[in-house]
Amino acid sequence: MSEKRTALYDKHVSLGAKIVPFAGFEMPVQYSGVTEEHFAVRENVGIFDVSHMGQIIVEGPAAKDLLQFVTTNDVNALEIGKAQYTCFPNGNGGIVDDFILYKMGDEKYFLAVNASNIDKDFSHLQKFNEKFGATLTNISDETSLIAIQGPKATETLQKLTNKNLSEIPYYHFAMGTVDGVSDVIISNTGYTGSGGFEIYFKNEYAEKLWDALTEAGAEFNLIPCGLASRDTLRLEKGFCLYGNDIDDTTSPMEAGLAWITKVDKGDFVDGELYRKQKEEGVTRKLVGFEMQEKAIPRHDYPVVDLEGNVIGKVTSGTMSPMKKVGIGLAYVDKPHFKIGTEIFIQIRNKNVPAKVVKLPFV
């Protein structure tokens, strides 16, 4: 199967990006270099093409009831203009996908889902929707998404929009005009932990908005950023990546996502199981850890105890650009998931010491 391309593919090539296959798309992994892009976002502003992400609309009189049943968070807590982080349980305690749910109107919701799970998510919704009868529309192929992230992101975007961005709190959004393009979803969200906005709009405006944002951010040293720095940025903040840290075999309770799992909200998929896990605790947990020696942990490296017994495995790992130490996320068995516990990461047959730490790393 040939990889898909976003509306900004030619732009990335012209900017000299290194292109790699990712989640069925040809995506820019880096431009000037991971470290430079990482620090641009932490200190100034960076721009990302994340148009590979999926967008699904759920609407109609049954929309809220469907979403309340198939997600872990409480849809009743949403007001128009507000968003929430949530996930789909799979019926066996695992996670189909994690995503952001936007309330667009009394009977209209917008889902921003992971690129690799678009078809899976849509089928999952269709399966449950037989009982509810909401209207489902997959608008992923016609929608682009640009993320402007970093401490100077708001000032950059403010030059181009009629909306007062200071009036859009974190995890809220507004419909507005950006550089003359109307009906843009302007969302105070992001995956970097450095603040900023994500804007959703029709594909045809992608190059125009990318160029306008690049020009608006020039005085703040804005640079284009790829998937590699997006990964190091999210990992420093302890954010989960679907397919690495969460999947169909991990429960939100194990993954540290109890805060988006409202077990008292009424009947929902896997609700009973999650209530039980909340009461009784879990036997393994996703933890953050820091290497105690110079070493870089990687996905799937075994985690062992002092005696060399395997007690878990690494799900994400990198060298933290900010802390200059190896950091990672790993599932570890009870009781090793307590903060301060010494664990060891098996790297090429050597057990390298690490310590369980509180998230986020920075």
- The DSSP bridge partners found for residue 240 are none
Mean pLDDT computed over every residue of the chain: 98
pLDDT of residue 170: 98
Q: SS3 breakdown of the chain: % helix, strand, coil, rounded to 5? A: 25, 35, 40
State the Cα–Cα distance between residues 50 and 146, nearest whole angstrom.
Answer: 6
Identify the pLDDT of residue 257: 98
- Kindly tell me if the per-residue pLDDT of 73 is higher than 90: yes
**Helix, strand or coil, per DSSP, at residue 53:** coil
Domain spanning 9-52+141-236: CATH 3.20.20.70 = no
Question: Which backbone phi and psi does 197 adopt, to 5 degrees?
Answer: -130, 160
Q: What are phi and psi of 218, to 5 degrees?
A: -60, -40
The mean pLDDT of 12-41, rounded to a whole number, is 98
Whether the per-residue pLDDT at 1 is higher than 70: the answer is no
Assess whether pLDDT exceeds 80 at residue 185. Answer: yes
Which pLDDT belongs to residue 115? 97
Question: Mean pLDDT over residues 95-110, rounded?
Answer: 98
pTM of the model: 0.97
Of 199, 203, 202, 177, give the one whose Cα is nearest residue 189. 199
Q: What is the pLDDT of residue 260?
A: 98
Bridge partners, 102 (sequence order): 83, 110
Averaged pLDDT for residues 11-36: 98
Domain spans, the chain: 9-52+141-236, 283-357
Across the range 249-265, mean pLDDT stands at 98
Q: Which amino acid is at 48?
A: F
Write the pLDDT tens digit of every residue in 76-96: 999 999 999 999 999 999 999
Share of the chain above pLDDT 70, in %: 100
Residue pLDDT, tens place only, 301-343: 999 999 999 999 999 999 999 999 999 999 999 999 999 999 9
| DSSP alpha helix (H) spans, the chain | 9-14, 34-43, 63-70, 118-129, 153-158, 206-216, 227-236, 271-280
CATH of the structural domain 283-357, one choice from 2.40.30.110, 1.20.200.10, 3.40.50.300, 3.40.50.2020:
2.40.30.110
Whole-angstrom distance, CA of residue 188 vs CA of residue 147: 10
